[in-house]
Structure 1
Amino acid sequence: MALRLAKYYKVFYITLNSYREKKNQNTNFSWKDMEEEDNLYMKTSPFLIPFSIRLKIIRTINGYRVARQIRKILSENNIKEAELLIFAYTPISAEVIKHFPNVKVHYDCADDFTTWHGINRSHAAIYKEYEKFILERALSVSTASNHMYEKFVNRNKNVFYIPNGADTELFSHTNIKNEKLKQIQKPIIGFVGATSGFLDVDLIKNIALKRPKYSFVFVGPLEGLEESLRNIKNIYLLGRRPYEELGEYVNNFDVCMIPANKKPASVAADAAKLYQFLSSGNPVVSINLPEVSKHSDYVYLASNIEEFVSKIDVSLSEDYFNRDKRIAYSSNFNWDNTTDNLLKHLRGVHGVEDGIH
C-alpha cells in the first residue's frame, strides 16, 4: 500500500525493530529511497528495548525515541505537524502518537490485538487502554473485517470497513515449476503464511491421516507446527521462503487450504492469504470463518474434519472454468483497488487532496 500511496503523497514508512542480530543493529534512522517511487522513504528505527508489553517504562522510552526521530524527519523535510497524517497499525502506537497533539491520525486495524495468540489478560488490558486512546484521538479508523467494524463503529465517528489487499500479481497463475515441490508427490494441498496461533493443528493432523496419498505442504514460519506434525509422513514443513518466491509455491499447489482454528483472533481477522490464493486460480478449501464465508461462491467452506476432507476431494476434480472465475474475482482485492478505496474515505474525512505525509 505504501508504494501506491507514494503516487500521490510523500510517504515515510517506518519499521520498528525490537530485537535484531547484533551485526545488523541499527542505532540511527537510515534513508532508503525505493526505486519504484521517488516519494517513498523507508526508515528503520533504532534498536528498541524488547519486552515492552511487560513494563510501562520501556514502552514510554521506546515511544519517545521513535517520536524524536519523527520530529527529525519533519524538520529535515520542512513539514509542519498539521501537514502530517500518521497511520497507526497497532494499539501500542499510542506511545508515539501522544507526542504529536497537532498531527492527524488514522488507525488502520487489521486484527483484534486484544485476543492475539500469546496475549494474557494483563497484556490484553494494556492493549485495550492504548486502543481506547487511539480511537478517541484518531479522526478516522479503517478495519479489515466486519467483526472489527462492529467493535469500533460506536467508538469513533469515522469508521469504515475495507478488506485486506493482496499482491495478486505476484500470486497470479504461472507455469514456473518449483524445484522443491517437484520432489513431493501429487496432489499437493498447500498453505503459505504465518502459522503461530492461527492454524488448527488437530485439523491438519486428521486430514493428513485420512488422505495419506495427498501431500500437505506448509510454507512459512513453523512456530507451533513442528512438534505436532513432523512425524506425519505426508506433511511437509518447508519453513520460511523469500517473499518473491511465494507465488511460485502457491501456483504449484493443486489445492490451497486455510485450516484455521476458530479462536477469537482468527474469527476477527480478514486473512489476506485468501485473496493471494484466489489470484492463483487454485481451488481454496477453508474452515468456515465469518470473513471467509463472504466469498462462498469462490471458496470451498468446511465446518469440521470430515467436511474439510470431502471438499478437498471435490476441489481436485472440479471444472477448470472455475479457475478463471477466481482469478477475475481476486482482482477486486489487489492493492490498487484497496488503496483507492482507502484514499476515497481519507480524503472525505481529512479534507485534503494532496500534501499528506
Structure 2
Amino acid sequence: MNIICFSSTRWDFLFQRPQQLTTLFSENFRVGYINPPSVVSEIPPSNIIFEKFVKTVNPNLIVFAPPRLRTMTVSRVREHFTGLIREFIKRFGLENPLLWINLPEAGYMCGNLGERLVVYDCLDDYSSFSWTPEYTTTADRTLARKADIVLVVSEPLYASKSRENSNCFLIPNACDFEHFSRSFEQGLTAPDDIKRLGRPRIGFIGAIYEWVDLDLVSHLAREEPGWSIVLVGPKHRSVNIPNLSNIHWLGRRPYNTLPNYLQEFDVCIIPFKNSETALNSSPIKLYEYLASGKPIVSTPIPEVIKFGRLVERASDKNLFLEKVRLLLTEPEDEKDRRCRFQLSVARVNTWESRYRSLKELVKK
C-alpha cells in the first residue's frame, strides 16, 4: 500500500502526530509526506523542484514541500499543486495511494489522485483558531463529509465529526514511550540553558499559542518568585511572553533533547485556557509528561479529566498554584506509587499502539 499524507505540520517542525504515524507506516508501506506549501519568488523547472524540494527520510518515506508563488490565485494554486502531486506520485512510485489528510485545505485533492481511500485525520477544532479563514472552516466540514474514514483526537471532536460522517473513530494522541521514559531514568545530561536555572522548576513543553493561559503562568511566577517557570517550545508571533524575571522562555528545542529538559522539571504543567481550542484538544505533552514520571497539573480539559487523579486539575489560578505547591512536597511513598502508575498508563498509550489500531482500520 502507498500513502500520501497532506500534513498541516512541516516535517522539520514539532515532531508530533503526523510525523510519528507516517514514520511508523513507512516501516511497512511507501509514504509521501506533503509539507504545507513553500512560498518562493519563482517556480523552478520540475526537475529542479523534485531535487530541491524533496527530502528522503528513509527508503520508504519521502518528504515533499511543493513550492508556490505568493501571488497565485486559489484556483491557480489548486491546479498547480494537483499537477505537482501527480508528478510526485509518478516519479516516486506512489500510485493508487491512500490519502491521509490532516490539512483541511488539501481536501480538493480527493478524486484527483487515483486514490483508493481517503482518511481525514482531524487534529483540532480549526474553526476555533482566531486566524482561521472561513474557507478553512468550510474545507474542514466538506472533507469530513467526503472522507471514507474520519479520525479525531478527542471526545468533543468525536461528538462533532460523527454527526458529519458515521465512519468516525476516536484515536487520541499518544507518546513515544521509549524516548520520553528516558527522563524517568535520571541519567541524561542536563542542557546548559536549564541547568543554570534555580529550583524548583515548573515546566511546560509545547507550542505557545493563543490557547496557553499566560495570565495563569504569570500568577504562578508572581506568587512564587523563587520558582523557575520554564517554557520550552516555539511561540506564535501574536503571543507575548510575560516579562517576569523567573519566567524563562527557552524557545524551540530539538525533539531528541526534550527528555533532557523533562528530566530537569520538578512539576509539569498544562495551563490551557477555557477555550474551544483547548476543550477539543488532545495534548501530546500530557502523554509525554506521563512517560517521564513527573507530577502534572492541568486545567480541566476533557482529555485530561478522563485520566482521573493521575493528573491534578485546577479550574482557577489560585487552585492551580496550590496544586503545584502540593506536588512539590509530595511524600516519597506517594511519589513512587504515582510514578509507577503514570508509567503503566503511558506504556499503553504509545504511537505504536495507535498505529496498530489504524493499520487494522484502513485494511478493512
Common topology (TM > 0.5): yes
What letter is aligned with 2:174? Answer: G
What letter is aligned with 1:184? Answer: L
1:140 is the counterpart of 2:152: no
1:29 is the counterpart of 2:38: no
Q: State how far apart, in whole Å, the 2-side matches of 1:225 and 1:182 are.
A: 29
Q: State how far apart, in whole Å, the 2-side matches of 1:50 and 1:333 are.
A: 41
Q: State how far apart, in whole Å, the 1-side matches of 2:322 and 2:140 are.
A: 41
Q: State how far apart, in whole Å, the 1-side matches of 2:90 and 2:131 are.
A: 39
Provide the TM-score with structure 2 as the length reference: 0.84
1:252 is the counterpart of 2:252: no
Q: Do 2:297 and 2:313's aligned partners in 1 also have CA atoms closer than 8 Å?
A: yes
Larger RCO (CA under 8 A, 6+ residues apart): 1
What letter is aligned with 2:56? Answer: D
Q: Do 1:171 and 1:276's aligned partners in 2 also have CA atoms closer than 8 Å?
A: yes
Q: Aligned pair in 2 of structure 1 residues 76, 222: CA closer, same or farther (>3 Å)?
A: closer
**TM-superposition CA deviations, 1:33-77 (whole Å, max 9, x none):** 324xx322222222x3459xxxxx633333333221221133235
Aligned partner of residue 206 in structure 1, secondary structure: helix
**TM-superposition CA deviations, 1:128-175 (whole Å, max 9, x none):** 321232123210010001111110112113100000122232222242
* Unmatched runs of 5 consecutive residues or more in structure 1: 52-56, 349-357
Q: Do 2:55 and 2:63's aligned partners in 1 also have CA atoms closer than 8 Å?
A: yes
Q: Do 2:31 and 2:94's aligned partners in 1 also have CA atoms closer than 8 Å?
A: no
1:75 is the counterpart of 2:90: yes
Q: State how far apart, in whole Å, the 1-side matches of 2:313 and 2:23 are.
A: 34
Q: Do 2:41 and 2:70's aligned partners in 1 also have CA atoms closer than 8 Å?
A: no
Q: Aligned pair in 2 of structure 1 residues 152, 227: CA closer, same or farther (>3 Å)?
A: closer
Paired position in structure 2 for 1:281: 293
Q: State how far apart, in whole Å, the 2-side matches of 1:102 and 1:182 are.
A: 50
What letter is aligned with 1:62? Answer: V
Paired position in structure 2 for 1:104: 117
Paired position in structure 1 for 2:29: 9
Provide the TM-score with structure 1 as the length reference: 0.85
Q: Aligned pair in 2 of structure 1 residues 79, 241: CA closer, same or farther (>3 Å)?
A: closer
Paired position in structure 2 for 1:64: 79
RMSD, matched Cα: 2.3
Paired position in structure 1 for 2:230: 217
Q: State how far apart, in whole Å, the 1-side matches of 2:229 and 2:40 are.
A: 32
- Which residue of the other structure, out of 172, 176, 179, is the alignment partner of 2:192? 179
C-alpha deviation, 1:193, in angstroms? 0.8
- Which residue of the other structure, out of 223, 234, 259, is the alignment partner of 2:246? 234
Paired position in structure 2 for 1:351: none
Aligned partner of residue 225 in structure 2, secondary structure: coil
**TM-superposition CA deviations, 1:201-254 (whole Å, max 9, x none):** 211111211111111010112336874512x12111111222221221111101
What letter is aligned with 1:9? Answer: F
Paired position in structure 1 for 2:7: none
Paired position in structure 2 for 1:340: 356
Q: Aligned pair in 2 of structure 1 residues 19, 188: CA closer, same or farther (>3 Å)?
A: farther
Paired position in structure 1 for 2:309: 297
